[in-house]
Homo-oligomer: A and B are copies of this chain.
């Protein structure tokens, strides 16, 4: 139930009511009260149970929609977003072909093992030195051609229940598995793109000559509560990184 200081009358609310409602609902979603795919109570019910006006709940939900946490469906209700593979790809996959076409390479995990986080990974994930991670290497192909090579580090306690089939094409995007197996929802990410000369193993994997200029994309992904949940380095020689600045 809503704490009393959520009501407009009580004291001077430091934060606007609709933001408090937003935080309150997000907290309950993160806590798992409504798992991905579930419907929240209707706006009317939420407003009544929280003791606020309909418009205030709507504004809070507007923000959750904006943040990609929930989705409205007219006539049905408001549902917590499940990361479908399509949606994850559309939102987080930024690589396109040289002609601008959206490329959708199949992902295949090559190796998965536990190890101590490297210094860069520990820094990116805000882990203590010596912390363990689940390390994946992955390739994304179109046909037999490897277009992207990835090294992914996931903090172990969070991802101990992850089930990744090794050596076969994945039907789902990884973010879908994170959510399904581990309850981890990727809400936000920060990418850094830099140029690099292909090392010998990377060149072999991507099918280019060693020393070829390639893109190195470092991604740190964050969960709903703002903690870093994934450290990913992607390398590609033939694709481009595309961004729209709105």
Taking Cβ atoms with an 8 Å cutoff, the residues of A that contact B are 67-68, 91-92, 94, 96, 98, 100, 188-197, 213-215, 237, 240-246
Contacts and interface: CB of A to CB of B under 8 A. Distances in A.
Contacts of A195: 195-196, 213-215, 237
Closest 6 pairs between A and B when the two form their complex, measured CB to CB: A213-B213, A195-B213, A193-B241, A194-B240, A189-B245, A191-B243
Given A188-B246, A191-B245, A192-B241, 18 more contacts: A67-B246, A94-B243, A98-B194, A188-B244, A188-B245, A189-B244, A190-B243, A191-B243, A191-B244, A192-B243, A193-B193, A193-B240, A193-B242, A193-B243, A194-B215, A195-B237, A196-B213, A215-B215
Given A197-B213, A213-B197, A214-B213, A242 B192 contact: yes
A74 to B, nearest CB: 13
Contacts of A193: 193, 215, 240-243
Contacts of A244: 188-191
A189 B245 CA distance: 5
A121 to B, nearest CB: 15
A100 B192 contact: yes
Contacts of A94: 243, 245
Main secondary structure of the interface of A (DSSP, over half): strand
Contacts of A67: 246
A152 B147 CA distance: 30
Nearest to A186: B245
A154 B218 CA distance: 33
A72 to B, nearest CB: 15
Nearest to A242: B192
Nearest to A198: B213
Nearest to A246: B188
Contacts of A68: 246
B242 A191 contact: yes
A231 to B, nearest CB: 14
15 contacts: A67-B246, A91-B245, A94-B243, A94-B245, A190-B244, A192-B243, A193-B215, A193-B240, A193-B243, A194-B241, A195-B213, A195-B215, A195-B237, A213-B213, A243-B243
B245 A192 contact: no
